[in-house]
Amino acid sequence: MFDIESDLEFYCYLKFHLPSDFSIVSEPQTSYYSEWYFNYRVYYKNSLLKEFKGNFKKIDKGYLIREAKQILEEIEIIDVNRK
């Protein structure tokens, strides 16, 4: 396990920590300087839960860190309520 320390780690962090019924997909960008653009989709089974699309240079620092932690907290709450 590892803790997320950068917005750039969003995909890897969720890929590692999401339970097996969940997945994250990174859609490619074809524009010039595309390494700064992101398009992540988080799924529960085959249903889209959330989408994150933007430019790493234009988001508030820590935005994706907060979102990743929030997603995992929400999943944990749902899981606890199911038991």
| 71 Cβ neighbours under 8 A, 6+ residues apart | 14, 18, 42, 49, 50
| Per-residue model confidence (pLDDT) at position 33 | 66
Domain boundaries, the chain: 7-82
Which residues of the chain have a pLDDT value below 50?
Answer: none
Question: How far is 68 from 10, CA to CA, in rounded Å?
Answer: 6
Helices (H) and strands (E) in the chain, counts: 2, 3
Question: What percent of the chain is helix, strand and coil (3-state, nearest 5)?
Answer: 40, 25, 35
Indicate the pTM of the whole model.
0.86
pLDDT at residue 5, rounded to an integer: 96
Give, for 77, the enclosing helix (H) or strand (E).
helix 63-82
